[in-house]
Amino acid sequence: MHQPKQIAIAVSSHHTTLTEHLSALFDPAMFHVILYTTPQYLKLMKAEERRFLDRHHWVVSEGNESFGQFLYRHASAIDKMDLLILPTVRAEFGSLAKLPVKIPMMLFAHNLKYWTSFRQRLPAMAAPFWRQRLSLLKAHFINDDAERHALWKRADIINVHNPEMELWLRRAVSADLSKPVTTLPFAFASESESLMAKPDTSVLRRLFTFVIPGEIEPVRKNYFRLLSGFTQAARLGAAFRLVLLGPLKGSALFQNKIHEACDKLQKALDPSAGEVVVVSNSNVSLVGGMLPESVFRKWMKDADMLVQPMRPDRKKYFQGFAEQYGQTAASGFSFDALRFAKPVLADVQHELLTELIDSSVRYSSVNEMATAVLKLCQKPETMLDKKNAAVRISRDYQQPMVLQRFLNQLEEIHLIGR
């Protein structure tokens, strides 16, 4: 049985980070990889400064053909490969399900309720009113359940992003799950990021930088709670730098309140020993609604600890389904912590990946959060211990380790090399 030496990846929307990491995962010295995509997606990858674009060969659609028609046109070439990976599928489920290829097809399932609850779509009543109505309209006018189900049945392998998602999947659809499941993570440490995964004794001599990564938005995240906790910590005497790292979204009212809360925190900090930095729309040119990758990586490299911004209920509303972070959907925050080797500050209600427990500091209220931040700032040995734990944990998420586990999984399921 041979390893999958020739791999086709078909991607046309979303998750440029995942596409970047898939490109990094497969060394051209070992694998022949062809990526099939659209001009718009490739342009977005370049605009966001995604790396490894020249690592493999790209085949780009032409004219007004749909992505399904484009793949049909190249079906004979795709069928000569060992494996077809579909990392992000949001449309044309029926066309992909009928794609005339015989090689194994791997489908990445990012939202498990969306992919497994066919014909059982209900409005997520916990969602804001307008989101409920939008989900119902989409469900009524874009009834893609049957075609999505067909693609799920057609796929030979389902990939989820962590063992917790695999466990939920096997429990929820055990009777209908007749196909193997792999657990390739959403992101991991590339060779350059792995260099960060080493002990940092300078932490004992400098101001700590806390970074809150990701979109600054009001629905899934509670920035005001976090900013309140840091403000209390500053008033207790903590000195630190806090960085909000992501595009600022939401209404003008929400954005103004974010700036007001940051100003309030800045006033609570000793001007000579701390600062609040918002790396967002106001001081960075956004591309496709995202920060350029070079800007994101620069601040992540400088971070001492990452702060989990998600609301404690951990819900993610997607196409009418209430996904649950840590079980039916994975959070990019966790993989950022692993690939950049950073400890995390998180509410006890957040279901972190098991690997992150030893490198985390937990709290259950704003007061507890403020106390935790104060202790970290006043006892740098504690931060150093957490940073060293993060370094140790991240070694399992470096590129060679991730690739070897992935290849072992493919060999175990006996689909490659038949």
Inter-residue contact 135 to 113 (CB < 8 Å): no
**CA 291 to CA 281: how far, in whole Å?**
9
In a domain, 418, yes or no: no
The verdict on 206 and 66 lying in the same domain is no
Asked whether residue 295 is assigned to any structural domain, the reply reads yes
Domain contains 417: no
In a 13 Å sphere around the CA of 359, the CA atoms on its Cβ side amount to 26
Let me know whether 244 and 330 are in one domain: yes
Question: Is residue 369 one of the residues assigned to a domain?
Answer: yes
Predicted local confidence at residue 307, as pLDDT: 96
| Helix boundaries (H) for 179-222 | 191-194
Q: How far apart are CA 311 and CA 219, in angstroms?
A: 9
- Which pLDDT belongs to residue 123? 45
Mind listing the pLDDT tens digit for each residue in 151-205? 998 999 999 998 889 999 988 876 567 789 999 988 787 655 544 555 566 665 6
Sign of the four-CA dihedral 398, 352, 269, 275? positive
Query: Does residue 350 share a domain with residue 218?
Result: yes
Q: Are residues 263 and 403 in the same domain?
A: no
pLDDT one-digit tens code per residue, 239-260: 999 999 998 888 999 999 999 9
User: Dihedral through CA 354, CA 356, CA 358, CA 363, nearest 10?
Assistant: -100
Same domain, 198 and 240: yes
Query: Contact, 251 vs 282, CB < 8 A?
Result: no
Residues 167 and 240 in one domain: no
> From the CA atom positions of the chain, what is the Rg in Å?
22
- Please measure the distance between the N-terminal and C-terminal CA atoms of the chain and give it in whole angstroms: 7
Domain that holds residue 369: 191-397
pLDDT, residue 418, reads: 40
Q: Please, are residues 339 and 17 in contact by the beta-carbon 8 Å criterion? A: no
Query: Could you tell me the CATH number of the domain that includes residue 131?
Result: 3.40.50.2000
- Is the domain of 248 the same as that of 303? yes
- Whether 408 maps to a domain, the answer reads yes
In DSSP notation, 326-385 reads: TTTB--HHHHHHHHTT--EEEETTS---GGGGGGEEEESSHHHHHHHHHHHHH-HHHHHH
Same domain, 278 and 345: yes
Beta strands in 117-263 (DSSP E): 157-159, 181-182, 208-213, 240-245
CA 126/CA 129 separation, integer angstroms = 9
What's residue 196's pLDDT? 52
pTM: 0.84
Of 266, 291, 269, 252, which is closest to residue 377 (Cα–Cα)? 269
Q: What is the DSSP string of 278-290?
A: EESTTTS--BTTB
- Regarding whether 93 and 166 lie in a shared domain, the answer is yes
Looking at the fold, whether 65 and 99 belong to one and the same domain comes out as yes
388 shares its domain with 405? no
- Number of domains present in the structure of the chain: 2
1 domain-assigned: no
Residue 308 lies in a domain: yes
Clarify whether residues 247 and 388 are in a common domain. yes
Q: Would 330 be classed as within a structural domain? A: yes
Kindly give the parts of the chain with pLDDT less than 50. Answer: 1, 119-127, 140-142, 194-195, 416-418
